[in-house]
Amino acid sequence: LEEAAFQLQQIFRIDISIALNILGVESMRAGHCRTGFTCFKLAADRGYSKAQFNVGLCYELGRGTEKDLEKAALYYCHAASSCHPMAQYRYGRYLLQHSPGQQWDRLQRALSFLERAATAGITEAQAYLGVFYMRGLQSQEKRGLKYLLLAANSGDAQSRYHVGVCYEQGLGVQQNLAEALRHYREAAAAGNRHAQERLRL
């Protein structure tokens, strides 16, 4: 009986969090940002990861509250720890962009979150990792190309352009100008200006 009561309590708690999060989304859509933020915050403080992500977004963008990147990171961290893929991407990116001197453990933690987000299909994380591994302190071109291809195949024109550069210059793959041209054409057709300029050359 105690176990059943506990389960009901958990379900009730989750349902309230879901309802508050939905109210937050609807309030934001209606332009009532402060109300939306308040709803998100109430649900987030109950441990609901979608609301924690939304609070992080509000703090990052200054919607319904003052901009505060540290608070945004805190809420992204909570949501990321609960396996929210977009929060993993944003928190990982935050760690990379705001880590003093790129401390090794912080760098590894950031990459771990970004790779989990990329594996979950977050195109932004795939593109970010692709560029990071291509341009990192210790360039890992094959690994970078793998992530760029994932993002390109998810429809990211900028990543498709970068894949073309890889084939043109032989980065992480054997140089192949015909393949580079194919990727440039696809990126250009999707509206990528860099690819359009490359084709003119």
| Coil/strand/helix, residue 48 | coil
Parts of the chain belonging to CATH 1.25.40.10: 15-120, 123-200
Per-residue pLDDT band at 12 (split at 50, 70, 90) = low
The answer to whether 149 touches 160, Cβ cutoff 8 Å, is no
Can you give the pLDDT at residue 83?
95
Instruction: Render pLDDT for 74-118 as a digit per residue (tens, 0 to 9).
Output: 999 999 999 999 999 999 999 988 866 557 788 889 999 999 999
For the chain, the average pLDDT equals: 91
The answer to whether 12 touches 38, Cβ cutoff 8 Å, is no
CATH number of 15-120: 1.25.40.10
- Give the residue with greater pLDDT, 51 vs 201: 51
Fold classification of 123-200 (topology level): 1.25.40
| Element (DSSP H or E) covering residue 40 | helix 33-44
Can you give the pLDDT at residue 201?
81
Can you give the pLDDT at residue 61?
97
Can you give the pLDDT at residue 137?
58
